[in-house]
């Protein structure tokens, strides 16, 4: 899979737009109102993120963030004292993050539109690399972790959030409920008994027609289209074994799970997700070169 396909999807579906949509205008006050609404919604849904960031040693340290979304974590990192640099594959994320930091008058050291496969940054330049919900969308993860290893200082730390394999979302929602729903809907549509399937189901049915239903339902294929929308070209899920396999230049130091999430099951607020949460936070240290 070419990186341009990944870039095209995230350019047209900016991370976070599914919460509130895009800003309603282009004026300063439009963005300020949007960022306020976005942060309120995001951290109501994922209150563990600020708590996890509180556990990191950031003050005065050079921090690289890979994948920026709407810039919410960039602001959180800078407010905790990080000397922040950000990189994103898409122009939209870079522009919105830059707008946020300018509106909030927050200092930073660099902001780049670039690929994690070819970081425009010098060797041994960061104490911490942080990436929340991004690297599981990178097919060439081996190359990505090589680049991250290159820019991290010896003794530095990589902190990532990856989608969790051992989660209710992967095992129950995606693996059972959504596949069963599509399996039931497919023959109904072919018989003309499903007149208005809805936008989401309709997109999955269209994918199944193009790919073939049984092939589309294989988890190795189905997972790509069930984490961030049916048009998402690539996603991966992780357990500790896969982290060690895909990040061979690093040692795993700590893992924890958060975010009990498995739509359509009404789980929000019922638990922390420590056992079966969808977000696997991993802290890794670089091996000696």
Residues 6+ apart with CB under 8 A from 3: 89, 115, 117, 139, 140
CA torsion, ordered 96, 97, 99, 104, to nearest 10 deg: 140
Asked whether residue 112 is domain-assigned, the answer is: yes
Asked whether residue 87 is domain-assigned, the answer is: yes
Distance CA 165, CA 29 (A): 41
The total number of structural domains that make up the chain: 2
Distance CA 28, CA 124 (A): 37
Residue 53 and residue 22 share a domain: yes
Asked whether residue 280 is domain-assigned, the answer is: yes
Quick one: pLDDT at residue 57? 95
289 compared with 259, residue with greater pLDDT: 259
Residue 136 and residue 260 share a domain: yes
For tokens 């040692």, the residue is 251
b/e burial code for range 83-98 (CB count within 10 A of at least 16 → b)? bbbbbbbbebbbbbbb
Quick one: pLDDT at residue 82? 99
Q: Kindly report, residue by residue over 157-171, the tens digit of the pLDDT.
A: 999 999 999 999 999
| Mean pLDDT of all residues belonging to the chain | 95
Q: In 3D, which of 138, 2, 109, 3 has the Cα closest to residue 148? A: 138
- For the beta sheet containing 110-113, the strands, ordered from the edge strand earlier in sequence to the opposite edge, are 110-113, 83-88, 62-66, 126-132, 152-163, 279-286, 250-258
Asked whether residue 261 is domain-assigned, the answer is: yes
Look up the domain containing 85 and give its range.
Answer: 3-166+237-286
Residue 242 and residue 183 share a domain: no
Asked whether residue 245 is domain-assigned, the answer is: yes
Residue 84 and residue 144 share a domain: yes
Residue 39 and residue 95 share a domain: yes
Q: Kindly report, residue by residue over 74-128, the tens digit of the pLDDT.
A: 999 999 999 999 999 999 999 999 999 999 999 999 999 999 999 999 999 999 9
Quick one: pLDDT at residue 147? 99
Q: How far from 179 is each of 186, 213, 214, 238, CA to CA, in Å?
A: 11, 10, 10, 20
User: Token pair of 189, please?
Assistant: 């549509």
What pTM was computed for the model?
Answer: 0.95
Residue 180 and residue 64 share a domain: no
Quick one: pLDDT at residue 254? 98
Task: Report residue 179's pLDDT band, with 50, 70 and 90 as the boundaries.
Answer: very high
H-helix or E-strand containing 181?
Answer: helix 179-190
Distance CA 172, CA 178 (A): 8
Q: Kindly report, residue by residue over 240-282, the tens digit of the pLDDT.
A: 999 999 999 999 999 999 999 999 988 877 777 899 999 999 9
Asked whether residue 32 is domain-assigned, the answer is: yes
Q: What is the mean pLDDT of residues 1-16?
A: 92
Residue 176 and residue 151 share a domain: no
Contact yes or no for 6/139 (Cβ under 8 A) = yes
Q: In 3D, which of 17, 280, 274 has the Cα closest to residue 136? A: 280
């Amino acid at each position: 899979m070419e990186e341009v396909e990944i870039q095209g999807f995230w350019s047209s579906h900016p991370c976070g737009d599914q919460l509130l949509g895009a800003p309603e205008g282009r004026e300063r006050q439009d963005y300020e109102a949007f960022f306020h609404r976005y942060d309120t919604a995001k951290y109501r849904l994922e209150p563990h993120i600020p708590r996890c960031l509180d556990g990191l040693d950031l003050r005065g340290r050079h921090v690289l963030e890979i994948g920026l979304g709407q810039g919410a974590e960039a602001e959180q990192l800078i407010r905790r004292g990080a000397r922040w640099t950000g990189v994103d594959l898409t122009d939209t994320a870079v522009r919105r993050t830059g707008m946020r930091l300018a509106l909030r008058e927050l200092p930073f050291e660099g902001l780049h539109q670039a690929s994690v496969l070819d970081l425009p940054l010098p060797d041994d330049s960061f104490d911490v690399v942080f990436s929340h919900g991004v690297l599981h969308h990178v097919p060439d993860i081996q190359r990505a972790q090589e680049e991250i290893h290159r820019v991290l200082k010896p003794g530095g730390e990589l902190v990532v959030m990856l989608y969790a394999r051992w989660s209710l979302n992967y095992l129950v929602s995606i693996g059972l409920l959504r596949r069963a729903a599509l399996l039931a809907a497919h023959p109904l549509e072919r018989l003309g008994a499903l007149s208005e399937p809805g936008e989401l189901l309709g997109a999955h049915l269209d994918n199944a027609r193009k790919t073939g239903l049984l092939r589309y339902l294989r988890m190795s294929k189905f997972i790509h289209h069930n984490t961030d929308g049916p048009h998402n070209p690539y996603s991966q899920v992780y357990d500790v074994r896969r982290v060690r396999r895909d990040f061979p230049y690093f040692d795993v130091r700590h893992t924890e799970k958060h975010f009990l999430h498995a739509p359509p099951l009404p789980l929000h607020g019922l638990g922390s997700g420590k056992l079966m949460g969808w977000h696997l936070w991993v802290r890794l240290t670089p091996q000696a070169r």
